Every structure is written in structure tokens, then in C-alpha cells.
């Protein structure tokens, strides 16, 4: 079967639902530390709350990948998992920000919040993974970089919207402060609106995309039926044992990269509250204003990522472009410790966006061209462990590192910068097909 080209709008439709999913993910990323700090969590324990999201991703995404490789039904191959994940995410987004409004004790409110966080990240992971798989399934090798770039664009656009919601709602007059232990309405309404957009975007992709049937899929990926069946019967451990070298080499870069961004999500709120608003009181208007400003900074990062994604194709050497992106991101992280003006922080987060742009597109484009079609979903699910495991390790040691750097949360962003620099060095260890 000739591997046909898809039009721009076909590739757009494949990933459009990712826009809604990423709004949910951005709301989680920018507000989880703020939510649990407001509920009463100690700053030295904040990183522990970030263990659940990557842990659930590490469990869920390989399973979704493996199961969906074997799923062929009237609803499609990947789409059933997309629908289930999106529906659960919408329900949980209605409950999570209300953890402090249910009359519970501090301990019970945090326990309720943790359960909701676990369910939210499980459902987001279940909804997110099918988009990566559908591009791998339905786009030929020549167009994959473009298709993942479109997905990256929609991802960053969704992040931009999600990050700005609390700031926008505060600007229009919705309360940004609340009694001690209660999440402000600006955050609660952000989650409500994000949930509505998520389900609408997912329904659009579901209606506009028709997945291949088993025969078309086998022909498109040059698979014989027997070969595809044998690949799908292999256990995850066997697939991991036979993973291409690129899987592990890119995985090392991922380790440093995702460790860095876990610390950004965990400590930016407290860090800029200390250095710009000069407060550590989570019930203060200054701390909540810093929380809103984190959303703005993360939105600036998304803008930087979109702009840098247009520059990346100009690099003739892919690995040089990847490494330069991570170095710029590392410089952005390190510079946050030297800046005490909220607007000058835009420069830092524009640079951080350069690293994020490379992280979103390059690893999956490099990996999927090294894989066969039969176990595409399983391998992409396993590869997600190179995103989740670094975050779990970073979360476990975050409190220890915070003590080592003097208890200043902004110094954790310096640690993040050093990690990205190490990732840039590791890029040059990736062996491409041509070099192999």
C-alpha cells in the first residue's frame, strides 16, 4: 500500500483534541502546588504531591498502549481510550479544586485532593496517549515531523489558555482570595471551563477522524498479519528488551529534561512569591497573586515554545538544534534566581520555552521512525516511562535537595537549569539510523 500524504487539516484534526487535554494538564501543572500549599502542605513536602501524576502515567500509558494495539472495534483502535479518559478527567476537574470547600479537616482535605489528583492524572494520561499513537499509526515517515509539530503547536496553545485562566478570571473580577484552606474561585472556575473545553475538543477529534481498519493498518505499515500478531503477543518486558538503541539514548536526555520541569512546576510558585512578592504566607494576597503570575509565566513559556518551534527546522543538524534548545532552557531556569522583577521574568520563561519546544517534538519524531507498526502503541507507552520515572525520582529527592540549597525554593530552578545542561550533553550520545 502506498503511504499516502495527509493534508494539513487531516493532521490538524488528528491532534485537535490535544488542545483540550493540554488545557487540563496546564491547569494541573500550574496549580497543584498552589492548591496543596493553600490546603496546608509544608513546602519541604510539596514535591511528594508530584509523585502521583508521573506514577500514574508510568502505569497507565504502557497499558493503554498495549491494550489499544489489540483493540479493533466500531469506535476505532485508540479512540475508545480517548473517550473514557476525557470523561473521567471532566468529572474529576469538577471536584479537585473544591477540596478545601467541603468542610473537611486539613488532613482529610489533602487526602481527598490526593485521590482526585491521582484520578485526574490517570484520566489525562489515558486521554493524552491516543493522540501520540494516532499520529504514529496514520502518518507516513516523511510527514511525521510535521504532524508532531502540529501536535506541539496545539499542545502549547492549550497550555497557554490553561495557564492564563486564573489570571483572566481574576482580571474580570472573580475573587482570587479565599478563607484559609479554601481554593479561590478564580482557580475553581478555571477548572470548570477547562473541563468543558476538554470534552468539546475530544468530541471534535472523535467525529472528524476515522481510524484505519486492521487490513489497512497492516498494509500501511508493511506488516504481514502473522508478524503483527506475534509482535502484539510479546510481553512489555520482552518488547523493552528488544527496544532500539535510540529508545534508551533518547531516554537519558528525557531523564534530565523532565527532572528539570518537575522542579519548575513544583517550586516556581513559592520561589517567585519569595523573591518578587517577598512572602511565604500562603493565605496572603501576595502569595495568591504570585500563583496567578505563575500562570502568566507558564503562558510566556508556551509562547516561547511556539516561536522556537518555528526556528528548530532551520538547524541542519537535529542534535545540535536539540542541544541548543536545552542549553537555552537551562539558562532561563538559572536566570530566575537573579531576577526580582515580575516582568523581567518573561525573558527567563521565553528561554525555558525553547527547551520545552524541543522536548515536545523531537523525542517522539526520532523514536517513531525507529519502530515498526505492530507494537507502536506499546513502545510509545513504555517510552512514556522516560517521562514519568525522572519526575518520580525528582519528587522523592526534592525535599532533600531543597534543604541542601538552603530552603530557598527559587534555588530549585537553578538545579533544574543544571539538569537541562546535562541533558544537552546527553543529546550527542543519541545514535540516529543514518549514523548506525
Cβ 373 vs Cβ 221: under 8 Å: yes
What is the average pLDDT score of the chain? 84
The answer to whether residue 164 scores a pLDDT higher than 90 is: no
Alpha carbon distance 175, 183 (integer Å): 10
Residue with cell 479565599: 178
Section 70-82 average pLDDT: 82
The answer to whether residue 91 scores a pLDDT higher than 70 is: yes
The answer to whether residue 61 scores a pLDDT higher than 80 is: no
pLDDT classification of 312: cutoffs 50, 70, 90? confident
SS3 at position 73: strand
pLDDT classification of 219: cutoffs 50, 70, 90? confident
- For the stretch 200-211, pLDDT in tens is 999 999 899 888
Beta-carbon contacts of 170 under 8 Å, excluding residues fewer than 6 positions away, are 176, 186, 292
Nine-digit cell string for 158: 492549550
pLDDT at 226: 46
Range with lowest mean pLDDT among 8-17, 141-150, 189-198: 141-150
Percent of the chain with pLDDT over 90: 34
**C-alpha to C-alpha distances, 211 to 29, 72, 283, nearest whole angstrom:** 31, 10, 50
Which is more confidently placed, 100 or 419? 419
Between 385-404 and 411-427, two packed helices, what is the crossing angle to 10 degrees?
A: 140
Nine-digit cell string for 217: 493498518
- The β-bridge partners of 76 are 73
The answer to whether residue 87 scores a pLDDT higher than 70 is: yes
Alpha carbon distance 114, 120 (integer Å): 10
pLDDT at 156: 84
CA 351 and chain centroid, separation: 18
**Distance, first Cα to last Cα, the chain:** 28
Provide the residue ranges of all domains of the chain, joining segments of one domain with +. Answer: 8-427
- For the stretch 239-263, pLDDT in tens is 777 777 878 889 999 999 999 999 9
SS3 at position 76: strand
Which is more confidently placed, 346 or 289? 346
- For the stretch 414-430, pLDDT in tens is 999 999 999 999 999 88
- For the stretch 298-311, pLDDT in tens is 989 989 998 998 88
Phi-psi region of 272 (alpha: psi -120 to 50; beta: other; left: phi over 0): alpha
Helix (H) or strand (E) holding 355: helix 345-368
Alpha carbon distance 329, 313 (integer Å): 18
Alpha carbon distance 296, 161 (integer Å): 10
pLDDT classification of 1: cutoffs 50, 70, 90? low
Cβ 126 vs Cβ 24: under 8 Å: no
pLDDT at 169: 92
Question: CATH number of the domain at 8-427, out of 3.40.50.620, 1.20.1250.20, 3.40.50.2300, 3.90.650.10?
Answer: 1.20.1250.20
Question: Model's pTM, two decimal places?
Answer: 0.74
- For the stretch 134-152, pLDDT in tens is 887 888 877 877 787 788 8
SS3 at position 277: coil
Nine-digit cell string for 218: 497492516
Of the ranges 101-110, 188-197, 305-314, the best mean pLDDT one: 188-197
Amino acid at each position: 500500500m502506498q503511504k499516502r500524504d495527509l493534508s494539513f487539516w487531516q493532521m490538524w484534526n488528528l491532534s485537535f483534541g490535544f488542545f483540550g487535554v493540554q488545557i487540563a494538564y496546564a491547569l494541573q501543572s500550574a496549580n497543584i502546588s498552589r492548591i496543596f500549599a493553600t490546603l496546608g502542605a509544608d513546602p519541604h513536602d510539596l514535591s511528594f504531591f508530584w509523585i502521583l501524576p508521573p506514577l500514574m502515567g508510568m502505569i497507565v500509558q504502557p497499558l493503554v498502549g498495549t491494550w489499544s494495539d489489540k483493540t479493533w472495534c466500531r469506535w476505532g483502535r485508540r479512540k475508545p481510550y480517548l473517550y473514557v479518559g476525557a470523561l473521567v478527567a471532566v468529572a474529576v476537574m469538577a471536584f479537585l479544586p473544591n477540596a478545601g470547600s467541603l468542610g473537611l479537616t486539613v488532613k482529610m482535605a489533602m487526602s481527598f485532593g490526593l485521590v482526585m489528583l491521582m484520578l485526574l492524572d490517570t484520566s489525562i494520561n489515558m486521554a493524552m496517549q491516543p493522540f501520540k499513537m494516532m499520529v504514529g499509526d496514520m502518518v507516513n515517515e516523511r510527514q511525521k515531523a510535521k504532524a508532531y509539530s502540529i501536535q506541539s503547536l496545539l499542545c502549547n496553545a492549550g497550555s497557554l489558555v490553561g495557564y492564563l485562566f486564573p489570571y483572566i478570571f481574576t482580571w474580570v473580577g472573580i475573587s482570587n482570595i479565599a478563607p484559609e484552606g479554601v481554593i479561590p474561585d478564580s482557580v475553581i472556575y478555571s477548572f470548570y471551563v477547562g473541563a468543558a473545553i476538554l470534552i468539546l475538543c475530544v468530541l471534535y477529534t472523535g467525529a472528524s477522524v476515522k481510524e484505519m481498519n486492521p487490513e489497512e493498518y497492516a498494509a500501511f505499515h508493511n506488516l504481514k498479519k502473522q508478524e503483527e500478531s506475534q509482535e502484539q503477543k510479546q510481553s512489555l518486558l520482552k518488547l523493552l528488551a528488544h527496544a532500539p538503541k535510540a529508545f534508551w539514548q533518547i531516554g537519558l536526555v528525557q531523564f534530565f529534561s523532565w527532572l528539570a520541569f518537575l522542579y519548575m512546576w513544583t517550586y516556581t510558585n513559592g520561589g517567585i512569591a519569595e523573591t518578587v512578592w517577598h512572602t511565604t504566607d500562603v493565605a496572603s494576597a501576595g502569595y495568591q497573586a504570585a500563583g496567578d503570575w505563575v500562570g502568566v509565566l507558564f503562558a510566556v513559556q508556551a509562547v516561547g515554545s511556539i516561536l522556537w518551534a518555528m526556528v528548530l527546522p532551520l538547524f541542519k543538524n537535529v542534535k545540535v538544534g536539540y542541544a541548543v534548545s536545552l542549553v537555552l532552557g537551562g539558562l532561563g531556569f538559572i536566570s530566575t534566581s537573579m531576577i526580582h522583577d515580575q516582568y523581567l521574568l518573561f525573558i527567563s520563561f521565553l528561554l525555558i520555552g525553547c527547551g520545552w519546544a524541543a522536548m515536545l517534538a523531537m523525542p517522539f519524531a526520532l523514536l517513531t521512525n525507529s519502530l515498526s507498526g505492530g507494537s507502536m502503541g506499546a513502545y510509545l507507552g513504555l517510552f512514556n516511562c522516560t517521562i514519568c520515572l525522572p519526575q518520580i525520582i525528582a519528587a522523592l529527592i526534592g525535599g532533600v535537595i531543597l534543604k541542601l540549597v538552603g530552603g530557598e525554593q527559587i534555588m530549585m530552578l537553578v538545579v533544574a537549569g543544571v539538569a537541562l545542561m546535562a541533558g544537552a550533553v546527553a543529546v550527542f550520545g543519541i545514535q540516529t539510523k543514518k549514523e548506525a
